[in-house]
Structures are given as structure tokens and as C-alpha cells.
Structure 1
């Protein structure tokens, strides 16, 4: 019998001014989405701050809980889900990710796309993503369709409401056992 394979979706709230602003509008508890290839969250990717001290410099990032943006916000709250996938789907996701990794300097944060979601109008620019759009895009390009809408309209809250995802943990990020 083959071992089950999962990818992990991490939704977070750092409590920053940017998150508080988005939260006022969305009324959602979490406003950042990341995808990880292990439960320990050591191989985790998203679109967000390239430099923890500069919220305006955003793009594709390999997130590190202990040295990246999260390290500056020890009170970060989160919810973690897992999605059962096949080896073939993981291989496809890694190929998609490699394109992002190889070209990471070309990718920008799609701030206008965040506004587009609020208007239910997808705003897509080549090489420009926001966090949940990126995670949805990686899944989508790997053949995983969780919603009947474009990745450019997927919000972090859509992951929270997705029945295909299995709940793993909710609470303070740094209290999550798998990262200790």
C-alpha cells in the first residue's frame, strides 16, 4: 500500500497594518496563503514580502518561519490544512515551482489583483501574483481544480471554506507542534 502524500496550505494573520487593512474589508480571519510540501513547513512558498522590514517590496518568496517575515511577528495566528495529492501532481507542482524559483527576480506582487478580487474582476498581469492567486495557480497548473473560478479570484478564505482540504491545526503559528 502506498503512503499518502499531502501538500499543506498555511493561512496566516501576522497582525501587520497591511493585514489589518485587508481584514477590515474581507472580514476573514486570515489574509495570507502559502503552500508547503511538508508538515514542518520548511519547504514553503508564496507571494509576499521579499524583505521582512519592507512591506512594499513583494514578490515570489520561499518562506522561512524562523528567519523570514514570520520571525518578526511571533504572535502570528494561523490555520493549516492538508490536501491529499498523487506523486504525479506533486511532480507537476514542483515543475511549476521551478519556473518561479528560476525566474524569481521577474515576479512582482499583484497588488492591483488584490483590488480586483474585491470587485470580482480578475486582474492578471504576466509574472505578477498575490499570495492566494499563486497557491491556486500552482494547484491549477498541476491539474488540481478546487474551485470553479480563475486563480486570480481565489482568496485565502476560499481555502478555509474548501471541503477538499483537511484541517490540521489552528492557533499561534509558533505553537504548531510540527515546527518545534
Structure 2
């Protein structure tokens, strides 16, 4: 009622000659009209939201169907269709400049190629074996090209201006050096990315995925009794040796793009001669991925590969505890936690990645010198989080 009185007053101010009864009637009609408009807009918005919700359900259903019943041709055709659809969309339907359109189309084609290589080499390998979790990952990869447009054009409205003559004359030598360093760093990063995503590296990474399992133990008894005998002989050595390496393997180089760290592998050794190096790894295509002994020579996979060796003071009892735990893992079984690199979680106790294993052994023996969830530990954390200087640097090996 108060709303009507205010509207009647406004109407009479606009049209003083209008009778009061007519003003009241007009206010009621006007109010009901705008209410109906608002109600109509609200209904339309709800319809849009309901449609979007239904569309999301349908898309999820399609992805689930592809996971359960998809074949290699279906995955490839879906990836090709998405790439073609998005290419036509940005080329014809969207008002972008020519340069941006070309960038997006090239990005879609590149994403399609990576998807096809992944599907053909990892999800559906030539030996005919496939795993459900790889199908799930493959299905999750399908919608990723839709995110490329948002990533590429998120800064498309940014404005860039050429410096004025006054600005140019005020450039200092330090600024020129800084810009030169930035350019050098950008060129090095581009070269590194090109190397990491080379066809050979992608084939090696994707071709190795079908050997892994993040759900069951696939490595059983890879450590021979000779290993435990050699490790037992070094129990009187008052140190456990932590090896942080930059091997240059395809997987290590890919991980380094995300961690922005040079060293991306961690191992343990019970002796100073490094005859008992052990960690979680891919098995070098000799042993199944999981707990395996490592040879120092295997770290040399690129020209500038290097290994940092540190030692941590421990008691004989602590080394015995670690060695006993490693024996139990070797007998029970293990697997490399490849999904844990993303989820930071293990589905089973003995499924770990390298730094997760090293930290877990230190933690079990009560020798961990920093606190962190094992699944969150990166190889360089053993150095960077040594706030109380518990580690002692031994040497660096360059190949």
C-alpha cells in the first residue's frame, strides 16, 4: 500500500490535472506491469539455469558412457570433432582479430594431436591392455580444449603502449640489462618447453603410463636379498644418505615445468658409496614401477644431469627401522603413485612416489626434520625446509 501511495504521489506531480482516482488506478496498473516484467525475467533466468544444469548432466552422462564403452576410434573421433567444432566457432562465429583466431586454432589442433597420441599409446596400447583409470583420465582430457579459449583470451583486452621519447631517454643501463635477462630467460623457457613436449618425450611418457597402477600393487620382490645384505653391512654408518637428482628423464622434465624446480627425484642410500640407493621409480622398463633399487649411472639421462648428496645423522636403530620397513614393502608389494603427483594422496599404503617414500621412511624412523604431509613433499623440500641445518652436504656429482 505504501508503494502505491508513493507511486500515486509521483504520478500526480507529473500530471497535476489527472483525477486522484485515475492516478490510483494507473499506479496499480503500472506496478503490476513492472512486477510481471520482473517475474518474466526471473522465469527466463530460471529456465536458463535449469537448461544449463540439464546440459551439464547430459555431458557428464556422455563422458561416463565414453569411459565405460569407448573405443580408440570413438575417443579419436570425439577429439577431432571437438577440435573442428571449436576451430569453426572461433573462425566464423566469434569476433576476434585474425591473430587471435590463428593462435586458438593452432592450440586446438595441438591439443587434439596430444590427445590422440595419449589415447593411442597409453589408453589403448598395441598390446591390447587398458585400465579403467586411464579411460577416466582420457575422458577428462576431452573437455580441456574448451578451456583454451578462456586461457588465451583472458588478457585480450589489455592495452599496450609504445614508450614516449622522454621515456626512452630515461632508460638506464640497469633496465636494459634487466630486459635482456628477461628475454634470455623467456627464450630458454621456450626452448625447454619445446624439448619437453617433443614427440619422442611425449611418446615415452604416454607409452609408459599403461605400466602403472595407482590402485593395486604391481611390484613384488624387486629388491634381491643381496641388497638387504649390503644395506645391513652399513648399519654402523651413523648416517642415512639423501640423494636429490636432476636426471633429465622425460617424466622428470615434464614435472619440472610444473614444480619450477631443477631437481625432481629423491632417493635414499644406507651407505656412503651409494651401493644401496633405493626409491620409488618407473623401473626403467626392467622392473615394474614401484620400489626399486637405483644405480648411480641411471641418473645420467642428459648432458647436464647432476646429483646432490646429503647425509643425515641417525642411530643404528633408526636405520634398522627403515630397512625393516623397506623389506616389508618389498614383500607386500608396491606401485608408483602416478595419480598422487596430482591428487597428493595414496589409495593404498605402499603406493607412493619418490619424495613421498623418502619422507615416509624418515618419519617412520623418527628422523624427519620438518613437518609436512608425505604426499605434499617435493624432492627439493629436503633441502629447502632444513631450517635447523640437520643435513650435511656431502658432494655433487655431475656427469
Smaller-chain TM-score bracket: 0.7 to 0.9
1 CA distance for matches of 2:270 and 2:286?
26
Give the secondary-structure state (helix, strand or coil) at the position aligned to 2:273.
Answer: coil
Pairing 1:51–2:284 present:
yes
Pairing 1:83–2:323 present:
no
Pairing 1:131–2:354 present:
yes
Q: RMSD of the TM alignment (CA)?
A: 2.1
Give the aligned partner of residue 390 of structure 2. Answer: 164
1:25-50 residue CA offsets vs partner (Å, 9 max, x unmatched): 11112100000001111011100021
Q: How many residues align?
A: 160
Structure 1 segments of 4+ aligned residues over 4 angstroms from their partners? 71-75
TM-score, structure 1 as length reference: 0.80
Give the aligned partner of residue 113 of structure 1. Answer: 340
Give the aligned partner of residue 146 of structure 1. Answer: 369
Which one of 296, 303, 317 corresponds to residue 65 of structure 1?
Answer: 296
Q: Is the 8 A contact 1:49 1:58 kept in 2?
A: yes
2 CA distance for matches of 1:155 and 1:140?
15
Q: CA deviation at 1:145?
A: 2.5
1:47-79 residue CA offsets vs partner (Å, 9 max, x unmatched): 00212579xx5211011224xx33655753111
Relative distance call for 1:42 and 1:166 in structure 2 (3 A) is: same
Q: CA deviation at 1:171?
A: 3.8
Which one of 238, 242, 258 corresponds to residue 25 of structure 1?
Answer: 258
Q: Which has the greater radius of gyration?
A: 2
Q: CA deviation at 1:170?
A: 2.1
Q: Is the 8 A contact 1:52 1:72 kept in 2?
A: no
TM-score, structure 2 as length reference: 0.38
Q: Which moved more, 1:3-12 or 1:148-157?
A: 3-12
Q: CA deviation at 1:134?
A: 0.3
Q: Is the 8 A contact 2:248 2:301 kept in 1?
A: no
1:113-149 residue CA offsets vs partner (Å, 9 max, x unmatched): 1113xxxxx3122121000000101111111232221
Give the aligned partner of residue 195 of structure 2. Answer: none
Give the aligned partner of residue 325 of structure 2. Answer: 96
Task: Give the unaligned 5+ runs of structure 1.
Answer: 117-121, 175-180
Q: Is the 8 A contact 1:8 1:82 kept in 2?
A: yes
